[in-house]
Amino acid sequence: MGMTMTQKILAAHAGLPGVEAGQLIEADLDLVLGNDITTPVAIREMEKMTISDVFHKDKIALVMDHFIPNKDIKSAENCKCVREFAAKHEVTNYFDVGEMGIEHALLPEKGLVVAGDCVIGADSHTCTYGALGAFSTGVGSTDMAAGMATGKAWFKVPSAIKVTLTGSLRPYVSGKDVILHLIGMIGVDGALYKSLEFTGEGVAALSMDDRLTIANMAIEAGAKNGIFPVDEIALAYMKEHSSRTPVIYEADEDAVYDSEVTINLDELESTVAFPHLPENTKTVRSIGEKIVIDQAVIGSCTNGRISDLRAAAEVLKGRKVKKGIRCIVIPATQAIYLQALEEGLLKIFVEAGAVVSTPTCGPCLGGYMGILAAHERCVSTTNRNFIGRMGDVTSEVYLASPAVAAASAVSGYISSPEDL
């Protein structure tokens, strides 16, 4: 019986000639990730173990990003806990104020993940790295603790859904629209504990930023992971960012999939997920009413990369954010911030009436710098729109692409750039 990409990676890391869906395995890890919220819990769990040291100081990444710069005493204490742990164990990849970024944008940029890796992270959007042809998935803090101590994790091998992409994206349509469309098709539990395996000639039409966005939100369909084939675009990205050698796995021709979905990229339009689930999708053109907003957020591990900022700046250039609308722009890493500065994008944002933040998760999880009051609405390039996600339980979050978020900030209601 043939194996999918994910199954081949897991088999290799478990030292097995083959695996099948539902099989329980123990796999070696190439990287263990934690942030300022989840790592303190993992540290306390690790302290209960008989193993007192980390398995490999170069294969752990600790990224302070959720409440950075610290917003209160509790967040400061959390970061202090992680900072002291990283120093004690000489963790190589520790990222704090001044060199930090949003973890799932930072790690690929730093070249810490390449194709063929097996990665766990105590954050659900760790599935982002599937864009590089790696198996990566989110785990709890206890599993992170075990991973830091032993370099191993257990998995139930997932079955898979094959997503075939054809065609290419039209102007103002991006990877965010692709994944929102897919989640709208299959639902938030449509890929529960399965691997979303993307394939087809349409993959070549997607940039790495598009692929990272799509893989990032695989979890919003319930998936264990999302993964893309390794092509010349992916190899060029890894060569630019990493000194490590990627290991390329390809699905067998007779690989078994639970189901197959085909998406024609030519037909996709700007798409928005309405409250309070990512599956509640509509195209902007089909909304039929003015959804007036109070805030627009452009950033996050989903859409805070340089192409996202360029897309937003293209819409905002020469225009003004509507009076009374708060527009918050958050570059995902320091390098992206600097590039945006050098390209003049930050000037465009400020002149348009937006505010530009240091890299941070910030408002995405209702952390800070953009909390919503009662009954307020936000159009956001983030990945979740659950009840109370960004603030008051009566507030609403609408998920969209950077182009749509920027256009909405200008018009004052959910709009696509073509509407301006």
Average pLDDT over residues 67-82: 94
Given this model, what pLDDT does residue 288 score?
Answer: 86
Percent of the chain scored above 70 by pLDDT? 100
* List of residues 6+ apart from 289 with CB closer than 8 A: none
- The CB-side HSE value for 343 (13 A sphere, CA atoms) comes to 16
In this structure, is the dihedral angle defined by the CA atoms of residues 164, 168, 170 and 173, taken in order, positive or negative? positive
Distances (CA, A) of 170 to 131, 142, 205, 306: 21, 43, 10, 19
- List, for residues 130-186, the tens digit of each pLDDT value: 999 999 999 999 999 999 999 999 999 999 999 999 999 999 999 999 999 999 999
E strands in 74-151: 93-95, 118-121, 135-138
Backbone CA torsion sign across 121, 125, 127, 131 = negative
Domain ranges of the chain: 5-264, 272-419
Closest CA to 26 of 162, 132, 120, 152: 152
Say which CATH topology domain 272-419 has.
Answer: Aconitase; domain 3 (3.30.499)
Q: How does pLDDT run across 187-226, given as a tens digit for each residue?
A: 999 999 999 999 999 999 999 999 999 999 999 999 999 9
pLDDT number for residue 395:
96
Q: What integer pLDDT is reported at residue 97 of this predicted model?
A: 93
Q: Is the pLDDT of residue 420 over 90?
A: no
Residue 65 DSSP code: -
Q: How many helices (H) and strands (E) does the chain have?
A: 13, 18
pLDDT value of position 379: 98
Residue 1: per-residue pLDDT: 78
The dihedrals phi and psi of 391, each to the nearest 5 degrees, come to: 155, -135
5-264 and 272-419 have identical folds: yes
Chain position carrying tokens 């303190």: 40
- Average pLDDT across the chain, whole number: 96
Q: Is 247 helix (H, G, I), strand (E, B) or coil?
A: coil
Residue 308 reports pLDDT greater than 90: yes
> Which CATH superfamily groups domain 5-264?
Aconitase, domain 3 (3.30.499.10)
Model pLDDT for residues 261-288, shown as the tens digit of each residue: 999 999 999 999 999 999 999 999 999 8
Three-class SS of residue 207?
coil
Distance in angstroms (rounded) separating the CA atoms of residues 214 and 221? 11
375's CB contacts (< 8 A; 6+ apart) are 392, 394, 395
Out of 104-108, 333-337, 362-366, least confident range: 362-366
- State yes or no: pLDDT of 52 exceeds 90: no
- Whole-angstrom Cα distance, residue 286 to residue 414? 11
pLDDT digit string (tens) for 81-123?
A: 999 999 999 999 999 999 889 999 999 999 999 999 999 999 9
Residue 344 host element (H or E): none
How is the beta sheet containing 135-138 ordered, strand by strand?
Answer: 93-95, 60-63, 31-35, 118-121, 135-138
For 282-324, give the DSSP string.
EEGGG--S--B-SEEEE-HHHH-SHHHHHHHHHHHTT--PPTT
